[in-house]
Structure 1
Amino acid sequence: MREDAGSDWHAYVDHVFIQQLAQGTLPTAAFKHYLAQDYLFLTHFARAYALLVSKLRSVRHMRSATASLNAIFDELPLHIHYCAQWGIDEHQLQTAAECPETIAYTRYVLDIGHSGDALDLLSALLPCVAGYAEIGLALLHHPDIQLEHHPYAAWIRNYGEEEYLDGVKSALGLMEEVWQERGTEARFKAVSTIFTTATQLETRFWQMGLNAANGLST
C-alpha cells in the first residue's frame, strides 16, 4: 500500500513541515499549532482503536489492538507535559477548536471504521502509525542533523525510539495477520485507496501547521 501510494506517500513523509522541523527552522507558531491539534487528533485516534477492538474476532488480535489503544492513553499525559514546555497548558489543549484538517482526517478514519471491517480500519490507521516511524528514524539517523540543542530533538527522538518502533511493528504484524484472514487480491485496490486517502490527509495536517504560522486560514 505504501508503494501504491507513490508520490502521495513521499509528499507526506518529506513535507516542507518535516524538512523545516529537521533543519530546526520550523516556525514555533507552526509547531505549537500542530501540537495542539495533534492532541485532539490523538483523542479521536483512541476512539478509532477502541472501534478496531470491536471489529476484531480473535482474543489475540483484540489484545494487540487494546495494547495500541493503551499506548495512546499513556501518550496523552506525556503529550500534555510536552505541550506545557511549549507554553500550551492542558486547559488550552482541551478547549482548542478543531481545525478543518483535523476534523476531515479523524472523521474519515472513524467513518471507515464504522462502515467497513477491521482491514479497512487498519488501512486508515497505518499511515499515521508507520509514517511517523519512517520520519522519526530518517531524522534520528540523518548525518546532517545534530540533535544537541536542536529545538525539536525530543519530538524526533520520540518517533525514532525503540518503544515507539515496537508498537509500530506490532501494528504492522496485526495488519498482516488480518490481511491473511480477510484480504484478497480483489480487495487490495479498495484498501490501498483508503491508505492513500489517509496519507493525503496526513499531508494536509502538516500543511495546516505551516498555514497557521503564515496567518493563512485553513
Structure 2
Amino acid sequence: MLPFAPGRFVDWLLSRSDVAPVWHRFVNHPFVLALGNGELPLESFKNYLVQDYLYLVHFARANALASYKARNIQDIAAGAKIVQHIHTEMKLHIDYCKSFGIEKDEIEATEEHQACTAYTRYVLDIGQSEDWLGLQISLAPCLLGYGAIAKQLHADPRTKTEGNTYWPWILNYVADDYVQAVQTGCELIEKNAVLHSPSRIEELVKIFIHATKMEIGFWEMFPSA
C-alpha cells in the first residue's frame, strides 16, 4: 500500500516531517524574502541572473535526457516541449539581463559558481543513474519551488510592489504559462508515482530532499543583505 492517495503524492511529499523543514528553509530563504521587500543588493541579483542562465543550460540538458529516459511517446514529447520552452525562456532571460546592463557574451564567459556546478551535475548524475521518475523528482524542487515562492510573495502583504526592482521577477512566476508548466509537471509526476513500490517512493523522497538542499545552496551563493 502506498502512503498517499492517487493524485496526492506531491502534497504528501511536501508535508512529510523530513521534507517540510527543508522545504520551508528553501521557500523562506533570506534571499527570497529580500526579493519580496526589495532589499536584496542589486549586485547579488545580477550575479544570480548570470548563474541562473548557466543553470538553465543544464536544466535543458536534463530535460532532454528525460525524453531519452521516457518509455512512451507522450512523455518523450513532453520532455521535448519543456526543452523548447527553456530555450524560449533563455532568450527572454538574455533580454532581462540586458535591462541590468549584462550582455550575453559576459554571461557565457562567466565561470559557473561551485554551487551551480554541484547542483546541476547532481541532477544530471541522477538522470544517468536513475529512472525517468528519479530524474523528474530531482528537477521538482526547481519547478515547484519557484511557483511556490512567487505565489507566496505575491500574496504576502509585506511584499513591496511599488518601486521594487524585483517585482517583475515575482510576476514572471505567477504568470499563467508558468502556473500551467507547474501543473503539467505535477500531473506527470502524480501519474507515475502510483506505479512504484513504497520502498522506491522512499528513495525518491531522499532525492527530493537532497535536490532541495542544493536549491538552498544556490540561494546562498548571493549575499541577501
> What is the total number of aligned residue pairs between the two structures?
211
**Mapping 1:85-96, distance limit 5 Å:** 85-96=99-110
Aligned partners of 2:36 and 2:158 also within 8 Å: no
Please give the TM-score of this superposition, normalised by the length of structure 2: 0.91
Partner amino acid for 1:21? L
How many angstroms apart in 2 are the aligned matches of 1:80 and 1:21?
20
Shift in Å at residue 148 of structure 1? 2.6
How many angstroms apart in 1 are the aligned matches of 2:200 and 2:194?
12
Determine if the alignment matches structure 1 residue 187 to structure 2 residue 200: yes
Shift in Å at residue 180 of structure 1? 2.8
How many angstroms apart in 2 are the aligned matches of 1:93 and 1:178?
37
Aligned to 2:120: 106
Determine if the alignment matches structure 1 residue 77 to structure 2 residue 61: no
How many angstroms apart in 2 are the aligned matches of 1:193 and 1:3?
14
- 1:115-169 CA-to-partner distances (Å, cap 9, x unmatched) read 0000110110000000000001111122232423211011000011111010010
Aligned to 1:65: 79
Aligned partners of 1:118 and 1:178 also within 8 Å: no
Determine if the alignment matches structure 1 residue 207 to structure 2 residue 207: no
The partner residue of 2:211 within 198, 201, 208 is 198
How many angstroms apart in 2 are the aligned matches of 1:75 and 1:54?
22
How many angstroms apart in 2 are the aligned matches of 1:14 and 1:31?
17
How many angstroms apart in 1 are the aligned matches of 2:216 and 2:173?
17
Unaligned runs of 5+ in 1: none
Shift in Å at residue 3 of structure 1? 2.4
Write 1 or 2 for the structure with the bigger share of helix.
1
Aligned-residue CA RMSD (Å): 1.2
Partner amino acid for 2:61? R
Which moved further from structure 2: 101-110 or 67-76?
67-76
How many angstroms apart in 1 are the aligned matches of 2:59 and 2:67?
13
- 1:19-78 CA-to-partner distances (Å, cap 9, x unmatched) read 111100000111111110000000000000000001111111222222222111110010
How many angstroms apart in 2 are the aligned matches of 1:47 and 1:61?
16
Partner amino acid for 1:132? Y
